[in-house]
Amino acid sequence: MTRKEADLSHAKFDVVVVGGGFSGALLAVQLSRRAPDLSVAVVDKGPLPGRGLAYGTKYSCHLLNVPASNMSALPEEPHHFLRWAKVNYGTSVQPTTFLPRPAYGRYIGSLLEDAMAHGSGRNLHWIKGEASSVTRDQLIEIRLTDGSVRVAQSLVLAVGNFPPANLKIPGLSAGSSRYVRSPWSATALHEIPKNGAVLLIGSGLTSVDLAVALKSEGFAGHIHILSRRGLMPLTQRPTGQWPHFWDEPGPQTIRKLLRLVREQVRMASESGGDWREVIDSLRPVTQNIWQSLSLKERKRFLRHVRSYWEVHRHRIAPEIGETIANLVHQGQAIIYAGRVTDYREFPGHAEVALQDRKTGDVRTLNVDRVINCTGPETDCRRIEDPLIKNLLAHGLARPDPLFLGLDVDPNGALIDSSGKPSPALYVIGPARKGSLWETIAVPELRAQASDLAAHLACTLEPGIQPVPEDEAIGAEANPG
Ligand SMILES: Cc1cc2nc3c(=O)[nH]c(=O)nc-3n(C[C@H](O)[C@H](O)[C@H](O)COP(=O)(O)OP(=O)(O)OC[C@H]3O[C@@H](n4cnc5c(N)ncnc54)[C@H](O)[C@@H]3O)c2cc1C
């Protein structure tokens, strides 16, 4: 390493954001607008800025599950995405259009690139790399897997979702050759025979993504989809607006809340409306409802209501709904409610035993691939990520009481192992689920990015000049 490289590798910033997917990119954009004097670095291990897991997909058949009118990344400019899409995607885009996710990834990437290219963005830096550990003294040191270190006044974790937990199925291990643990891995669908068979374990949005991707690749075999209840995400439909009906203090138990929601759904359908209006009317207050519930009631929700809530809340674009319905109708996709009781590998296939939820009957499937689509692991004690492990090991972070993510205060500051909120370490995105529940989609994340940027702008004194500008360009290359 030359002296210049060594100096650069210890560059200091006011804020380092680990993760440059949706949340991290938007936080950097908001910081460049609100506090242009703060020096900010975004560290990301992925290939392109702003894409992250959701918008980095290569499949244009993967559509947004929210219409263009509600996908602006900037809360202060609600039609920003729609305007961008009309110019950069096609003039035919309507507020109700469900656009491909790769196009949305370009939109987020372009926002960050614009922020870096223009005046206030001279303090914004993109660093390609993986952060693996953090130490905190007066400043924070962030070590990357390439051995380099960045130093910051504040660190924000915007690391998104983690791969699913390993499945506990007799005969199945992480090394099983026909088993794919991460449905998002680039090779998950590689080399599946065209007329073969695939088992997707889990029947949520990830399974939908994989089924649609398989179809787009010309796969003509069987797609078996299994989950405990066999519930698939429901489909979006244009609806009217239902008036808000939850006020604080609302019902404090899940039982009473369910009764209230069912009553509203009945009223909506009697007046010619749709249950979707009722569910959507809860969106602006979902975080308040969650926070009004005791830990016991939150657990009750997770045990008894969660899977029903997910399919009603996380709906799919009409076109995607139609694709899935056709696959089912034609017998290509088969949905099961039950569990896998056994897995064995033979030359040429895997044999999987499924037990039906209602009858208890067991059937055997021969498949070429089994893909774990059970959803992201949220219990950070089990997440096999060096950075998360390191933060927990050093007591800089702790899990939230429901193991849905990391414990944070209302500003998103990490709460350490002794229960103290950090003045310098923050979290944005899905890892705040324990305290907010609704914290994984664009409407909430764009607000979080904006709020955290405002908080950091108030609390940090700009002071750290990372490196002279001419030196910065080669080392911390702007995203391409
Ligand atoms: C498949 C899918 C589809 C979705 N579709 C929609 C939709 O249509 N509409 C909607 O509103 N919401 C949607 N969402 C929800 C939401 O928009 C995304 O989850 C959102 O992108 C989350 O943003 P994030 O920044 O928290 O995570 P991500 O965008 O995944 O970004 C995390 C980033 O952190 C990086 N990273 C992680 N660890 C490290 C490390 N140690 N060092 C360096 N970099 C690291 C990763 O490389 C990644 O780029 C979808 C989510 C998924 C998973």
Looking at CATH, the fold of the domain delimited by 179-234+316-372 is given as: FAD/NAD(P)-binding domain (3.50.50)
Nearest residue CA, atom 21 of ligand 1? 22
Lining ligand 1 with CB less than 6 A are: 18-24, 43-46, 52-54, 64-66, 130-131, 158-161, 209, 387, 429-430, 440-442, 445
- Amino acid identity for residue 454 in this structure: A
The tens digit of pLDDT for each residue in 345-388 reads 999 999 999 999 999 999 999 999 999 999 999 999 999 999 99
Buried b (16+ CB within 10 A) or exposed e, 80-103: bbbebbbeebeeebeeebbbbbbb
Q: Give the span between the Cα atoms of 271 and 60, in whole angstroms.
A: 38
End-to-end CA distance of the chain, in Å? 25
Question: Does residue 331 have a pLDDT over 60?
Answer: yes
Domains 3-162+378-475 and 179-234+316-372 share a fold: yes
Measured in Å, residue 123 CA sits from the centre of ligand 1 at 24
For residues 393-410, average pLDDT: 97
Containing H/E element for 160?
A: none
Measured in Å, residue 315 CA sits from the centre of ligand 1 at 18
Question: Does residue 8 have a pLDDT over 60?
Answer: no
Nearest residue CA, atom 27 of ligand 1? 160
**Quick one: which of 225, 184, 164, 209 has its CA closest to 65?**
209
Q: Do 270 and 242 form a contact (C-beta atoms < 8 A)?
A: no
The tens digit of pLDDT for each residue in 196-231 reads 999 999 999 999 999 999 999 999 999 999 999 999
Q: Give the span between the Cα atoms of 449 and 73, in whole angstroms.
A: 9
Check residue 7 and give its pLDDT: 47
Question: Does residue 117 have a pLDDT over 60?
Answer: yes
**Other Cβ atoms within 10 Å of 232 Cβ, number:** 22
**Quick one: which of 290, 268, 272, 279 has its CA closest to 315?**
279
User: What's the order of all strands across the beta sheet hosting 349-356?
Assistant: 179-180, 369-372, 197-201, 222-227, 333-346, 349-356, 362-367
The tens digit of pLDDT for each residue in 234-257 reads 999 988 899 999 887 778 899 999
Check residue 6 and give its pLDDT: 40
- Amino acid identity for residue 348 in this structure: G
The tens digit of pLDDT for each residue in 52-88 reads 999 999 999 999 999 999 999 999 999 999 999 999 9
pTM above 0.85, yes or no: yes
The tens digit of pLDDT for each residue in 429-453 reads 999 999 999 999 999 999 999 999 9
Percent of the chain with pLDDT over 90: 87
Q: Name 461's Cβ contacts closer than 8 Å, sequence gap at least 6.
A: none
The tens digit of pLDDT for each residue in 255-310 reads 999 999 999 999 999 999 899 999 999 999 999 999 999 999 999 999 999 999 99
Query: Exposed, middle or buried: residue 417 (CB in 10 Å: 0-12, 13-18, 19+)?
Result: middle
Check residue 342 and give its pLDDT: 97
Sequence spans of domains, the chain: 3-162+378-475, 179-234+316-372, 254-313
Buried b (16+ CB within 10 A) or exposed e, 27-63: bbbbbbbbbbebbbbbbbbbebbbbbbbbbbebebbb
Q: CATH homologous superfamily of domain 3-162+378-475?
A: FAD/NAD(P)-binding domain (3.50.50.60)
Measured in Å, residue 205 CA sits from the centre of ligand 1 at 14
Phi and psi (nearest 5°) for 297? -70, -35
Question: Does residue 472 have a pLDDT over 80?
Answer: no
Query: Exposed, middle or buried: residue 130 (CB in 10 Å: 0-12, 13-18, 19+)?
Result: middle
